Amino acid sequence: MNTYKTIIFDMDGTVLDTLDELTESLNYILRKYQLPEKTKMQVRSYLGYGYAGLIRQAVPEANQDFQLELQDAFKSYYGSHCQGHTKPYEGILEILASLRDAGYKTAIVSNKGQAAVTELHKEFFEGLVQFSLGESANYKKKPEPDMVWEALRRLGSSAQEAIYIGDSEVDKKTADNSGLDSALVTWGFRDKPLLQSLHPDYLVSSPKELKHLFIPAR
């Protein structure tokens, strides 16, 4: 195993369980526009591609202008309703504290809008992770490498000493495009067989196992 100094995490499905909140917010917008609502499992399969990808998959029949309208409506609503049911996965906060105490540099990089990412960082990750970077006009979304490279720049790190941790094919592509090793977790928004087929450097089945990747058990 490589000796890493920097760990970059995806947010949704990796460190935060946001599925209930995203499903409720999406269905609120769909109801508002008299469109069919989606199940939680449907929404789970749509996640990973930012707000635009979520709307595109939820309402594929909508033309571009209508999709942009729905996207803006979702972004506005979710930005102020992103915290009610959202919670870290069990054991994640303890892992982040252990990584901090062990001297690792850590950041979160998400395709979720920066406003929501900032609010969630303040609520859950302040003092545990150095910063959380969300979608904005300044950087291309994942799986493009721009956001990861910006995180590395802010952390003063190189791709060779860093690993990217996520829960989907988007995260594997992001790691590959950024030149980072990858770890995929099985408790997020994709099923284990799909994750296995992506051949990440590490496939992690529990938060405890994730911790032991970086802090060996004594």
* CATH classification of the domain holding 172: 3.40.50.1000
Q: To which H or E segment does residue 112 belong?
A: strand 105-113
Confidence of residue 50 (pLDDT cuts 50, 70, 90): confident
Q: Rounded to whole angstroms, how far apart are CA atoms 56 and 60?
A: 5
- Do 10 and 50 reside in the same domain of the chain? no
Average pLDDT of the chain is 94
Query: Is 204 a domain residue?
Result: yes
- Do 92 and 10 reside in the same domain of the chain? yes
Query: Is 115 a domain residue?
Result: yes
Query: Is 1 a domain residue?
Result: no
pLDDT score at 83: 67
Calculate the dihedral angle through the C-alpha atoms of 147, 153, 157, 161, rounding to the nearest 10 degrees. 30
Residue 33: CATH number of its domain:
1.10.150
* Last residue in a domain, options 30, 52, 79: 79
CA–CA distances in Å: residue 194 to residues 59, 181, 190? 24, 18, 7
pTM over the 0.75 mark: yes
Work out the percent of the chain whose per-residue pLDDT is above 70.
Answer: 98
Confidence of residue 179 (pLDDT cuts 50, 70, 90): very high
- Do 183 and 108 reside in the same domain of the chain? yes
- Do 111 and 202 reside in the same domain of the chain? yes
- Do 12 and 36 reside in the same domain of the chain? no
* Last residue in a domain, options 79, 110, 128: 79
The amino acid at 117: V
**Phi, psi (rounded to 5 degrees) for 203:** -115, 120
**What residue numbers bound the domain in which 137 lies?**
6-17+87-214
pLDDT score at 216: 82
* Last residue in a domain, options 52, 79, 106: 79
pLDDT score at 48: 85
CA–CA distances in Å: residue 50 to residues 6, 46, 158, 209? 24, 9, 26, 28
Q: To which H or E segment does residue 204 belong?
A: strand 202-204
pLDDT score at 1: 56
- Do 172 and 193 reside in the same domain of the chain? yes
Total tally of structural domains belonging to the chain: 2
- Do 196 and 105 reside in the same domain of the chain? yes
- Do 142 and 190 reside in the same domain of the chain? yes
pLDDT above 80 for 13: yes
